């Protein structure tokens, strides 16, 4: 009998240990037992709200918030940048626990979580009080009808960053239309110069934004009409844009290198690309990676995004992030306060835009003299905000995202790889993309219009 008891005790202990191991991981993230904070809690007695975010200056932002609040404290941790964080969040949604109270999400991923009931409608917690701080386009990206699922923080109005030295050497002025862009690319190539731009397969959001610039509306989806979606990836504008880039790629006028890789950055540093069609947050990223330093200081400048039709210019957005409250939050009202107040104070926003790690969407900053008149070091003292980015941001109208952004991006990436390998034309890519996405949407139970 003693042995049996021993067996039982042993097994029980071992099992208890394993089970404790299982549940331990989940509890860490919830608000009550928030102990693994990256930051220091200033007011220990205040209730804590857990936050996942990956802004480079987040430690300052969190300290600013915690110092200013005695009623609530933020417990911040980094769960990865982009995809790794989304994978963890998705797993937590599936598990029903383990998600933070407040999470940093990019605008294009919101709908996918909204449809899973993972995000709280913040309109009942006074989100509309801060609506006036943002442009209509930015607000559209975070709302569905009257419901508001996140508070915008930063945006990514797009423009064309270029190398002054290369433009001077080959006697080129910044192209204002895509036709001029192609002509300039040809001119540089004929003169034996570097490639003009880059068609990276790993930036599907970038390509989608460029498709939108020509008027493509890949997805029309309204959360109120949950089961119906319309998919128009093979529309003429989408085909035109894909064909345009496929042609550039085929002629060798642009690179085929994936972006944000060491190879790409070293190419940007070495002047391997004459332009970088990118968003307002790109300079901060490039500076962080060591671009524009030393002998290359001040070699970069920025011009407005080339247009399809100069008489009716269109502004588009790439990236940009928000704070959303998860439905797993213990105290949703308190979490909503954090979502509204975090990274919304002057000190944090100023630090963010000065280091160019964010392009703030807060109108207070956008209209401030300091921001407007800022001479950007990276662009050799150009008043880039006033001349390029603020007008682009103001003209941005918002975009409609699908509830399966991750899957869509993966398919667009696969098509881009085929385009860069010269296996298909842009038009074929558009058709394939349309078919794949329609099949997928149907398999997920949507009615495709």
Partner 1 sequence: MADHGSMTTTSAPPAVAAPAGAPPSPRRKAASGSEKMVARRARVGWVFIAPFAVVFVAFLLAPLAYALYLSLFTKGLATGTKFSGLDNYVRAFSDPSFLKGVWFVLRFSLVLIPVQMAVSLGAALVLDSLTTRLARFSRLMIFLPYAIPAVIGALMWGFLYSPTFGPLQQIASLVHAQAPFLLSQDNVFYGLLNAVTWQWAGYYMIIIYAALQGIDPTLYEAARIDGANVWQIALRIKVPMVSSAMVLILVFALIGTLQFFSEPQILAPIANGSITPDFTPNIYAYNLAFSYAQFNYASAISFALGIIVFIAVYVFMFATRKRGSSLS
Going residue by residue from 225 to 254, which x/- string records binding to partner 1, judged by CB under 8 A?
-xx---------------------------
Matching residue, tokens 């419901």: 147
Task: Quote the distance between the C-alpha of residue 394 and its chain's center.
Answer: 18
Q: Count of CB atoms within 10 A of residue 201's CB?
A: 20
Using alpha carbons, select from 324, 274, 286 the residue that is nearest to residue 142. Answer: 324
Segment near partner 1 (CB under 8 A), from 56-64, 149-157, 196-204, 205-213? Answer: 196-204
Going residue by residue from 316 to 355, which x/- string records binding to partner 1, judged by CB under 8 A?
----------------------------------------
- The DSSP string of 392-415 is HHHH-------TTHHHHHHHHHHH
Give the SS3 label for residue 231: strand
Q: Count of CB atoms within 10 A of residue 13's CB?
A: 10
Subset of 114-133 contacting partner 1 (CB under 8 A): 115-116
Q: CB 416 → partner 1: shortest distance, Å? A: 7
Distance CA 154, CA 362 (A): 8
Is residue 5 part of the contact set for partner 1 (CB under 8 A)? no
Segment near partner 1 (CB under 8 A), from 90-98, 292-300, 321-329, 332-340? Answer: 90-98
Using the Cα atoms of residue 209, residue 213, residue 217 and residue 222 in order, give the sign of their dihedral. positive
Distance CA 101, CA 93 (A): 12
Give, in order, the Cα–Cα distances in Å from 13 to each of 1, 3, 4, 26, 206. 18, 15, 14, 20, 53
Is residue 257 part of the contact set for partner 1 (CB under 8 A)? yes
Give the CA diameter of the chain: 94
Using alpha carbons, select from 164, 172, 173, 207 the residue that is nearest to residue 189. Answer: 172
Q: How many residues bind partner 1 (CB under 8 A)?
A: 48
Q: CB 404 → partner 1: shortest distance, Å? A: 7
Q: Which of 35, 36, 70, 91 binds partner 1 (CB under 8 A)?
A: 91
Is residue 192 part of the contact set for partner 1 (CB under 8 A)? no
Tokens matching residue 243: 């064909």
Using alpha carbons, select from 191, 123, 157 the residue that is nearest to residue 390. Answer: 157
Q: CB 376 → partner 1: shortest distance, Å? A: 28
Q: Which residues contact 59 (CB under 8 A, 6 or more apart)?
A: 38, 39, 76
Q: Which is nearer to partner 1, 67 or 439 (CB)?
A: 439
Give, in order, the Cα–Cα distances in Å from 285 to each of 13, 56, 171, 210. 50, 10, 28, 20
Q: Which of 156, 319, 403, 426 binds partner 1 (CB under 8 A)?
A: 403
Q: Which is nearer to partner 1, 7 or 191 (CB)?
A: 7
Segment near partner 1 (CB under 8 A), from 6-14, 301-309, 325-333, 389-397? Answer: 6-14
Q: Which is nearer to partner 1, 195 or 361 (CB)?
A: 195
8 A C-beta contact, residue 327 and residue 98: no
Q: Which is nearer to partner 1, 264 or 359 (CB)?
A: 264
Going residue by residue from 408 to 427, which x/- string records binding to partner 1, judged by CB under 8 A?
--x--xx-xx--xx------
Q: Which is nearer to partner 1, 98 or 200 (CB)?
A: 200
* CA torsion, ordered 401, 407, 408, 410, to nearest 10 deg: 140
Q: CB 396 → partner 1: shortest distance, Å? A: 27
Is residue 36 part of the contact set for partner 1 (CB under 8 A)? no
Residue numbers at the binding site for partner 1 (CB under 8 A): 3-4, 6-7, 10-11, 14-15, 18-19, 83, 86-87, 90-91, 93-94, 112, 115-116, 200-202, 226-227, 256-258, 261-263, 266-267, 403-404, 406-407, 410, 413-414, 416-417, 420-421, 443-446
């Amino acid at each position: 009998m003693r042995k049996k008891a021993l067996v039982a005790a042993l097994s029980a202990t071992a099992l208890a240990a394993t089970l404790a191991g299982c549940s331990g991981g989940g509890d860490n993230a919830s608000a009550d037992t928030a102990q693994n904070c990256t930051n220091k809690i200033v007011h220990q007695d205040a209730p804590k709200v857990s936050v996942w975010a990956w802004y480079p200056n987040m430690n300052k932002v969190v300290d600013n918030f915690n110092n200013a609040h005695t009623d609530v404290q933020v417990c911040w941790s980094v769960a990865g940048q982009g995809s790794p964080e989304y994978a963890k969040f998705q797993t937590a949604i599936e598990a029903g626990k383990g998600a933070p109270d407040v999470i940093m999400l990019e605008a294009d991923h919101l709908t996918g979580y909204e449809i899973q009931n993972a995000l709280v409608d913040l309109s009942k917690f006074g989100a509309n009080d801060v609506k006036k701080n943002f442009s209509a386009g930015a607000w559209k990206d975070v709302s569905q009808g009257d419901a508001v699922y996140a508070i915008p923080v930063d945006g990514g109005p797009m423009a064309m960053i270029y190398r002054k030295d290369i433009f001077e050497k080959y006697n080129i002025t910044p192209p204002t239309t895509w036709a001029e862009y192609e002509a300039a690319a040809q001119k540089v190539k004929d003169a034996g110069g570097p490639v003009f731009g880059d068609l990276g397969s790993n930036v599907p959001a970038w390509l989608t934004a460029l498709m939108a610039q020509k008027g493509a509306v890949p997805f029309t989806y309204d959360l109120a009409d949950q089961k119906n979606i319309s998919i128009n990836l093979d529309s003429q504008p989408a085909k035109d844009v894909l064909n345009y880039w496929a042609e550039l790629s085929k002629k060798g006028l642009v690179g085929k290198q994936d972006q944000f890789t060491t190879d790409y950055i070293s190419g940007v540093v070495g002047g391997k690309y004459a332009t970088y069609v990118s968003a307002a947050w790109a300079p901060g990223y490039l500076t962080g990676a060591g671009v524009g330093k030393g002998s290359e200081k001040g070699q970069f400048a920025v011009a407005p995004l080339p247009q399809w039709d100069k008489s009716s210019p269109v502004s588009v957005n790439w990236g940009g992030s928000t704070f959303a409250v998860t439905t797993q939050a213990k105290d949703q009202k308190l979490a909503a306060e954090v979502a509204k107040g975090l990274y919304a104070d002057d000190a944090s926003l100023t630090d963010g835009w000065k280091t160019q790690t964010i392009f703030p969407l807060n109108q207070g900053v956008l209209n401030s003299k300091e921001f407007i008149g800022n001479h950007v070091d990276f662009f050799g003292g150009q008043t880039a905000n006033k001349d390029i980015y603020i007008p682009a941001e103001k003209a941005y109208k918002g975009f409609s995202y699908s509830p399966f952004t991750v899957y869509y991006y993966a398919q667009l990436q696969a098509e881009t790889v085929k385009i860069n390998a010269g296996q298909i034309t842009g038009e074929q890519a558009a058709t394939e993309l349309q078919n794949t996405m329609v099949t997928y949407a149907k398999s997920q139970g949507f009615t495709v219009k």
